[in-house]
Structure 1
């Protein structure tokens, strides 16, 4: 892939910290493609680069998620300007959503957004995500909603995105898709995996046309503590090394 597009390596021109962030973010894009959550070249995952500049990395517009590499990711500032003018352009809608969140959430190292069939289907259902599965309880413990306003290109929508998200880690964008926020790329990915699976289960359960058994009220209140126990306090980092090994077995070019 990288030889076809002739993207020069950035490994020696960025800090070791930024390079590791690039590798992990490229891996997240590949994993989204591997799980079938991609939407051609659309949707986005961003990662904030540490430092006072408030720069973040996002995908180049026009590349399939299965093509993304560490060196192809685009570093931009809070106004959407490319730091390296030779980089690919970015999707303006992706910039609007991600810059809005990175601007106000210091804990948002990674913001992940998808347009999956199950995610959009649940986002269109009036009641949103239902407490029908164990998987649903983790998002329900920290879930926000944002009403659809059209393609996210308007600057004034940022304030409403920020307000609606608040301190939540999960967001359902009505008639649009899913979004997760994480203190690391592995955390955002694990959050998206669980939210996506909860949506798939909900669509499957509703399609069965049989009476449903919702989870009793109150159980959701214990989930945050239980989540820490399940992941041994490591969050997404518990599964991340195994996911990287899986990608390496399939195609390690994301590391380039």
Structure 2
């Protein structure tokens, strides 16, 4: 699955609010052995949001988590755009969503809050633990939640539990090689596709080093390739340290 994140809010781009969704979602995905495929922060612009949703829709492997814009104010555009892009149908009153909003607000649901029950055709609800106004999903893979983290994050956990009920955390092994990453390319080229390789060049003082990460869902395979790298470095006389130590200047000096 390709996991997309769409964060909608001019207030984040102009720094009136600080984004809290990116770190949250990436951590939740890692707990389940997954990573983001792409992330977007978008202005409250109808055309721009529609283009982002169209991009996600065009990927047959896509799963999307969209944050923000499902309220009842004039700048809340997400519900209508989601209906246009994903259902090609007008918004419809979702009776269960309507009931929840009326239970929460009573007569104060009118004249504005009640419009939050107008959802794209075929929407399934996500529970809101704060004020009972639900988020929603389409096709069990496009998830739409409010911008408020206290509301949004429990909904995302609920969505992930439905989507990945048997998920296992990603296994990762990391080491710092006290050479340029160029000296490790021979080994990098041998790593199979089901092992994710990350190579981050850095300077430790004035010395070039490389932080190498191997990750995947098969812990045995990750450990095996970690050992192969260590054997390769030992044979070549390359110094290395377990973990990401690119900021540890004292160790770099002792290994110089």
Decide: shared fold, TM above 0.5. no
TM (normalized to structure 2)? Answer: 0.28
Higher helix proportion: 1
Higher strand proportion: 2
TM (normalized to structure 1)? Answer: 0.28
Report 1 or 2 for greater relative contact order, CA contacts < 8 Å, sequence distance ≥ 6.
Answer: 1
